[in-house]
């Protein structure tokens, strides 16, 4: 039996890491302490003014949004109060403002109506459970620091869903606006059909109040956008009902609101596992769309204020706000773009402005509750019609349609799905499409061959320029993770098949920021493929984290430390130490690299085939046999046909340098009665030189098997000429 003992140092490190994580998690919940600790008295006036301004808009909106959600109007006020205060105090954005919103109200109705009938106690209980589930989901996302996932959902999903939700809200409010009784649950198409079929039963007084509310809001917005048009429209319509007794003439009103603090929810079925399961898909969709909205809105605000926003802290705030709203009889909470923008424009300095707005809504509810009895449903529907119209962002939709098929398709699909499918499925469909597009894009990174530009200073993708016949320089423009390696491997292998003489590969990896075990396996396969051809593979511009991963997984050892090259020296190193100069001089006409420009060019055509060995045969002598032969009584003459620069760096001590490019100049000096061993870097140039000598009557010829690479690989003695360049 073996016993594993963990070192005290590792235990201490683990304990320190756990302590750090615990303190960071605890820090999310102590945000109000930091806000109050850093608060400055000069901010108070600005925050109170901003809070009052936002409350004036949010008070009527809260009742309107409850109307959308199929909830009692007072629950909208409870949601506004709890959402503003809790999300404000626990959030990181100084100007973000949360509470009930149009899209989340519509999602409340859509998801909850699948498990309960609107207007029943079961409906209220299910809405509370949904809100609690969404709160827990967002809280967990925040404290586990998974907020970055929201970045992978395209803004096209939000634009499409918001536009679709606007159309749905408008269609659903038509019966209230016109005073028509229609059957519920028909969806977008069914509701529209019911309105058309019952248009003749329009209640004219209700329609007049609704249209009048729309006109008031539009006119006031044109006069000054900061005038609380919805509040004024609702007050005027309620005054008309009270003064002329319109509620007795068939105009439906919302009825008196209860007075008092938000009460605890009478019942949230947290032990009903069947109901939780039925709500889970909707809760996931609502949670995800809320995270994306919050991220989008807070980033938009921070781009104007230059404040650094902590997304995870925002998600914790949203989670706590939804949980508080569920406990105190409210429904779904999320960040509101319009109210956040108004909060910013009104001069809000800190998160206390959002908290003040919730307090002012509470005061307004307590003071105005008796007068809410006269607010007509048609006027609320008119306010919603204006909101719904503004939700369809036509300029942004046009930009998406003109910007590319990917975003346009996601936006259009999400919009249509919002109109025709249950909203939670429409949201998830848009998110899945967005993630799918991201995966497709990252799974097919560009893999392009690059060659030097005109100045020989930079490597670039230039498909019209020829490549080096020996060396493939390929740039990978993306990460090497499991989803991308198949594409990258296929691209490189296809390039290998198209260029069979390129037995060396230089991979440029400056754009590879992530590599996993699948990426390592792919590189190992390529390495084996190139080495089987007699070549090799080299890497350049490997990022630190990627190199460490390669090292930990054993790839650095397998490839070799010396195969990781510096960018500025890579081509030069490969040219002088790896590539075969015979090919450079005698077979290559393109001269791709700067180093190629000074190569000698043969003055006379050499009758040598491009493949070796040629049609004739000659004996091949091994490095060990040649070593012993040179020490015998009849030592052979060793002719090294490499270029002078190669010869000076390393050569067999008894060898004579006769470059292949000038082999004709030495024919009269060579003895025909002596064994001549021809040496080159490999065997290619040796066979070429042998063909020339054989053509001129030399018969006692041998080839050094494997060339100088084999000689050096056998650790045999070599000579170096001093002052070699």
Give 480's DSSP letter: B
| Residue count of the chain | 725
Low-confidence residues of the chain, pLDDT below 70?
A: 1-23, 149-152, 184-186, 300, 303, 600-615, 722-725
For residue 93, give the nearest of 288, 291, 306, 286 by alpha carbon.
306
Look at domain 620-713 and name its CATH class: alpha beta
Distance of CA 371 to the CA centre of its chain: 51
The residue to which tokens 């607010």 are assigned: 375
Are 701 and 686 spatial neighbours (Cβ–Cβ below 8 Å)? Answer: no
Q: Which residues contact 448 (CB under 8 A, 6 or more apart)?
A: 461, 474, 475, 477
Within 8 A by CB and 6+ apart from 60, the residues are 228, 230, 231, 234, 380, 383
Question: CB neighbours of 51 closer than 8 A, spacing ≥ 6?
Answer: 348, 352, 353, 354, 355, 356, 357, 359, 360
d(CA 62, CA 74): 8
How far apart (Å, rounded) are the C-alpha atoms in residues 235 and 326? Answer: 29
- Looking up tokens 């319509």, which residue turns up? 237
pLDDT the model gives residue 665: 85
What's the CATH number of domain 446-585, 3.30.1490.20, 3.10.20.600, 3.30.750.24, 2.130.10.30?
Answer: 3.30.750.24
3-state helix, strand, coil in the chain (%, to 5): 60, 5, 30
pTM: 0.62
Q: What is the pLDDT of residue 3?
A: 41
Predicted confidence at residue 425, as pLDDT, reads: 80
Residues 265, 326 contacting (CB under 8 angstroms)? yes
DSSP of 200-253: GG--HHHHHHHHHHHHHHHHHHHH-TTS-HHHHHHHHHHHHHHHHTGGGGT--B
Transcribe 344-367 into DSSP letters. Answer: HHTT--STHHHHHHHHHHHHHHHH
Q: What angle do CA 122, 125, 130 make, to 5 degrees?
A: 120
Backbone angles phi, psi at 99, to 5 degrees: 155, -160
Rounded distance between C-alpha atoms, residue 151 and residue 294, angstroms: 11
- Please tell me the distance from the alpha carbon of residue 74 to that of residue 76, in angstroms, as a whole number: 5
Strand partners, 447: 476
Write out the H or E segment, with its range, that includes residue 244. Answer: helix 229-244
| Token pair in block for residue 683 | 């065997």
pLDDT value of residue 474 = 97
Q: Are strands 620-621 and 701-704 parallel, antiparallel or unpaired?
A: parallel
3-class DSSP assignment, residue 703: strand
Question: How far is 678 from 681, CA to CA, in rounded Å?
Answer: 10
Q: Taking the domains of the chain in order of start, what are their residue ranges?
A: 39-437, 446-585, 620-713
User: What residues contact 145, with CB distance under 8 A and at least 6 apart?
Assistant: 312
Q: How far apart are CA 520 and CA 546, in angstroms?
A: 10
CB 347 within 8 Å of CB 280: no
Q: Where are the beta strands (DSSP E) in 559-642?
A: 564-565, 620-621, 637-640
Per-residue model confidence (pLDDT) at position 251 = 92
Query: Contact 694/616 with Cβ under 8 angstroms?
Result: yes
Half-sphere exposure in the Cβ direction for 601 (13 Å, CA): 8
DSSP string, 386-452: HHHHHHS-HHHHHHHHHH-HHHHHHHHHHHHHHHHS-HHHHHHHHHHHHHHHHHHHHTS-EEEE-EE
For residue 475, the cross-strand partners are 448, 508
Q: Are 174 and 247 in contact (CB under 8 A)?
A: no
* Long-range pairs of 197-202 with CB within 8 A, sequence gap ≥ 24: 202/178
Domains 446-585 and 620-713 belong to one CATH topology: no
C-alpha torsion sign, points 50, 52, 56, 59? positive
pLDDT at residue 12, rounded to an integer: 56
Residue 28 CA to residue 20 CA, distance in Å, equals 13
């Amino acid at each position: 039996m073996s016993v594993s003992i963990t070192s005290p140092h590792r235990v201490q490190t683990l304990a320190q890491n756990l302590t750090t994580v615990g303190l960071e998690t605890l820090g999310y919940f102590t945000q109000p302490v930091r806000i109050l600790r850093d608060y400055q008295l000069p901010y108070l006036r600005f925050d109170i003014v901003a809070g009052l301004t936002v409350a004036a808009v949010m008070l009527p909106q809260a009742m309107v949004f409850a109307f959308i959600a199929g909830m009692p109007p007072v629950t909208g006020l409870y949601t506004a109060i709890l959402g503003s205060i809790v999300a404000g105090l626990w959030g990181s954005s100084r100007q973000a403002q949360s509470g009930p919103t149009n899209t989340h109200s519509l999602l409340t109705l859509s998801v909850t109506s699948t498990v309960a009938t609107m207007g029943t106690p079961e409906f209220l209980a299910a809405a509370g459970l949904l809100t609690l589930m969404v709160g827990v989901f967002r809280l967990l996302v925040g404290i586990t620091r998974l907020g970055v996932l929201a970045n992978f959902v395209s803004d096209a999903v939000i634009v499409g869903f918001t536009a679709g939700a606007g159309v749905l809200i408008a269609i659903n409010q038509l019966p209230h606006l016109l005073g028509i009784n229609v059957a519920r649950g028909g969806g977008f198409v069914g509701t529209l059909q019911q309105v058309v079929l019952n248009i003749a039963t329009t209640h004219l007084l209700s329609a007049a109040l609704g249209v009048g509310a729309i006109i008031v809001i539009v006119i006031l917005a044109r006069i000054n956008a900061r005038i609380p048009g919805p509040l004024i429209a609702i007050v005027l319509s309620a005054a008309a009902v009270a003064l002329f007794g319109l509620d007795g003439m068939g105009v439906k009103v919302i009825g008196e609101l209860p007075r008092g603090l938000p009460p605890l929810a009478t019942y949230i079925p947290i032990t009903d596992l069947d109901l939780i399961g039925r709500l889970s898909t909707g809760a996931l969709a609502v949670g995800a769309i809320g995270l994306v909205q919050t991220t989008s809105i807070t980033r938009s605000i921070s781009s104007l204020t230059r404040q650094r926003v902590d997304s995870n802290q925002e998600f914790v705030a949203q989670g706590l706000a939804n949980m508080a709203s569920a406990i105190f009889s409210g429904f779904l909470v999320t960040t509101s773009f319009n109210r956040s923008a108004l909060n910013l424009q009104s001069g809000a300095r800190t998160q206390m402005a959002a908290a003040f707005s919730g307090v002012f809504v509470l005061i307004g509810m307590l003071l105005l509750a008796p007068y809410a009895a006269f607010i007509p449903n048609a006027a609320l529907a008119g306010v919603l019609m204006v909101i719904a119209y503004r939700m369809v962002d036509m300029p942004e939709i046009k930009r998406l349609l003109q910007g590319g098929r990917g975003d346009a398709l996601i936006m259009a699909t999400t919009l249509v799905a919002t109109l025709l499918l249950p909203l939670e499925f429409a949201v998830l469909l848009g998110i899945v499409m967005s993630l799918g597009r991201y995966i497709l894009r990252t799974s097919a990174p560009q893999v392009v061959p690059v060659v030097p530009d005109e100045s020989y200073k930079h490597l670039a993708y230039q498909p019209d320029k020829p490549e080096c016949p020996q060396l493939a320089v390929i740039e990978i423009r993306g990460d090497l993770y499991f989803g991308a390696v198949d594409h990258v491997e296929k691209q490189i292998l296809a390039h290998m098949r198209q260029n069979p003489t390129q037995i060396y590969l230089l991979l440029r990896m400056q754009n590879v920021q992530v590599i996993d075990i699948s990426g390592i396996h792919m590189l190992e396969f390529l390495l084996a493929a190139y080495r089987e051809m007699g070549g090799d593979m080299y890497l350049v511009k490997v990022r630190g984290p990627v190199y460490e991963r390669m090292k930990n997984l054993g790839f650095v050892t397998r490839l070799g430390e010396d195969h990781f090259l510096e960018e500025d020296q890579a081509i030069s190193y490969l040219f002088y130490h790896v590539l075969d100069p015979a090919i450079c001089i005698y077979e290559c006409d393109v001269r791709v690299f700067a180093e190629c420009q000074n190569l000698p060019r043969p003055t006379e055509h050499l009758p040598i085939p491009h493949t070796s060995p040629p049609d004739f045969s000659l004996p091949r002598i091994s490095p060990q046999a040649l070593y012993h032969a040179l020490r015998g009584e009849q030592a052979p003459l060793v002719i090294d046909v490499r270029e002078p620069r190669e010869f000076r760096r390393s050569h067999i001590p008894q060898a004579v340098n006769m470059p292949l490019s000038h082999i004709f100049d030495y024919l009269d000096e060579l003895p025909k009665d002596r064994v001549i061993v021809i040496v080159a870097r490999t065997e290619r140039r040796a066979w070429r030189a042998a063909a020339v000598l054989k053509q001129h009557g030399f018969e006692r010829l041998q080839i050094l098997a494997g060339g100088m690479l084999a000689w050096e690989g056998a650790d045999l003695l070599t000579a170096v000429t001093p002052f070699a360049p």
